């Protein structure tokens, strides 16, 4: 899939996006926003405000009932087959429910994101090792993920999301099960990815993550945009 030059500065473009579940539950209504390339962007709001739905729409796990979503210049809902697969390789997602393979080792779970883009086994091994070092989970390399604590599983899900050096990283409640020091490690990892050029969208309840931050914060209430604070930097 060729790079779209028009989107050099915009990674996500959403125009009047709504998501309505059957029979008539509006999860999101008329959401319009742009997220720049290399930006760290916070999505906040109470449970049920529509944060997770918004992330799912961006990574094409769900399709909008109305509106347009462009990621890296591509209408993500028009992409099919290999084109969609190749775009997804550039999007790393840390899901709220982790989506880890419980019967596989930590290393295998992280490696899966790189295997689908046919990275060399040696490079995969090295990258897994680096990530586990950054998250202080080196000793868990060969542990079956079902045997990990919730906090550890959360960090493995995040490691998998950033493993393939994606251009867009979507993170749903990254610190829900973590203490303050581990939260710091996670944010460091995300910041490092952002400095390497990735765009980061974080959906969170945790006000400590965004209160002191210079990044933009979008608050959702009942599926609509309640406020959008301006940040200092992309």
Partner 1 sequence: MNFWLAVFRQVGRNLHQTWTSQLMTFLTVSLSVLIFAFFYLIYTNMLGAGDRLSDDLRLIVYLEEDPGPEMQQQLRQKINNFDDVEKILFVSRAEAYERFATQLGENSDVLTDMPKDFLPPSIEVVPLQSLRGYNKIKLFSEYLKSLPGAEKVQYGQEWVERFYYFTRLLTIVVILSGTLLILTATFMVAYTIRLTIMGRRDELELLKLVGATNSYIRAPFLIEGILQGLTGSIIGLSALYALFRWISLHFEGPGPLNLFQFTFLPFSEVLIIVSGSIALCSLGSYSSIRKFLKF
Instruction: Tell me how far apart the alpha carbons of residues 4 and 162 are, in angstroms, rounded to a whole number.
Output: 22
Q: How is residue 160 written in tokens?
A: 């998998």
Binding mask 131-160 for partner 1 (x = CB under 8 A): -----------------------------x
Residues 47-76 that bind partner 1 (CB under 8 A): 59, 61
Hey, which residues between 9 and 28 contact partner 1 (CB under 8 A)? none
128 SS3 class: helix
Residue 2: CB atoms within 10 A of its CB come to 5
Neighbours of 204 (CB within 10 A): 20
Note whether 77 binds partner 1 by CB under 8 A: no
Q: Would you count residue 112 as binding partner 1 (CB under 8 A)?
A: yes
Q: d(Cα 116, Cα 10) in Å, to the nearest integer? A: 26
Q: How far is the CB of 110 from partner 1 (least distance, A)?
A: 11
> Applying CB under 8 A, which of residues 8, 46, 78, 85 lies at the interface with partner 1?
85
- What's the CA gap between 47 and 206, in Å, rounded? 12
- Distance between CA atoms of residues 201 and 85, nearest Å: 20
Query: Which residues, 6+ apart, have CB-to-CB distance to 180 below 8 Å?
Result: 208
Pick the binder of partner 1 from 46, 99, 192, 226 (CB under 8 A): 99
Confirm or reject binding of residue 119 to partner 1 (CB under 8 A): yes
Number of residues that bind partner 1 (CB under 8 A): 26
- Enumerate binding residues for partner 1 (CB under 8 A): 59, 61, 81-82, 85-91, 93, 99, 101, 112-113, 115-121, 124, 160, 164
């Amino acid at each position: 899939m060729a790079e779209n030059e028009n989107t050099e500065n915009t990674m996500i473009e959403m125009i009047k996006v709504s998501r309505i579940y059957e029979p008539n539950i509006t999860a999101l209504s008329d959401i319009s926003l742009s997220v720049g390339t290399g930006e760290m962007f916070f999505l906040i709001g109470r449970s049920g405000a529509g944060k997770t739905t918004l992330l799912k729409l961006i990574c094409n796990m769900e399709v909008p009932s109305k509106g347009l979503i462009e990621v890296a210049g591509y209408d993500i809902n028009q992409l099919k087959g290999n084109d969609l697969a190749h775009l997804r390789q550039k999007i790393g997602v840390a899901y709220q429910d982790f989506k880890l393979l419980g019967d596989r080792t930590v290393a295998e779970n992280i490696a899966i994101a790189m295997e689908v883009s046919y990275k060399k086994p040696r490079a995969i091994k090295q990258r897994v090792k680096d990530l586990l070092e950054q998250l202080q989970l080196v000793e868990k390399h060969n542990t079956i993920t079902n045997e990990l604590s919730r906090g550890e599983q959360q960090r493995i899900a995040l490691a998998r999301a950033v493993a393939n050096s994606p251009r867009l990283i979507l993170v749903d409640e990254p610190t829900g099960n973590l203490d303050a020091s581990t939260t710091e490690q996670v944010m460091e990892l995300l910041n490092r990815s952002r400095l390497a050029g990735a765009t980061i969208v974080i959906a969170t309840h945790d006000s400590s993550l965004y209160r002191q931050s210079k990044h933009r914060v979008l608050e959702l209430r009942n599926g609509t945009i309640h406020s959008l604070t301006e940040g200092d930097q992309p």
